[in-house]
Amino acid sequence: MPMLVTSIMAKSNHSFGRNLRRKQPSDTSHQRTLRYKPSLYVPYGCHPYPAVQADGSVSAGLKGSGPDGGECGGSALGSQVYYRSDWCRNKWAIMYAWYLPKAGPHSINSATSGKQQ
């Protein structure tokens, strides 16, 4: 029998998120995850914000209408990088993620754009 599972989560304004205090690395894998944390360059559009607040509420994000970078040029409080790491096929894998309250399709200029193929 199919079952519907729902979750009621409090939502907050995207610009009011505060960074949670980073825990000190407790083991080697955590230290390496922080060591290789990538930087994110956002030349246009919406900048990252914290997605989860200390009280457990999540950002409601922004409506899809309006300009790409509308009202999300960057938080004075910073953003957060979320990560998970684990072993996969005898290799250590790390996944990093950022939360962007507004995202949409953008054309990306590649190294071959403008060149004849």
Contact 80, 20 (CB under 8 A): yes
Q: Would you kindly state where each structural domain of the chain is located, as residue ranges?
A: 11-37+44-62+69-102
In this prediction the pTM is 0.52
**What's the maximum distance between 2 C-alpha atoms anywhere in the chain?**
56
- Predicted confidence (pLDDT) per residue in 51-75, tens digit: 777 677 777 767 667 766 666 776 6
Contact 14, 60 (CB under 8 A): yes
Query: Mean pLDDT across the stretch 75-80?
Result: 65
Would you call 92 helix, strand, or coil by DSSP? strand
Instruction: Calculate the average pLDDT of the chain.
Output: 66
| Tokens of residue 24, six digits | 């000190």
Would you call 43 helix, strand, or coil by DSSP? coil
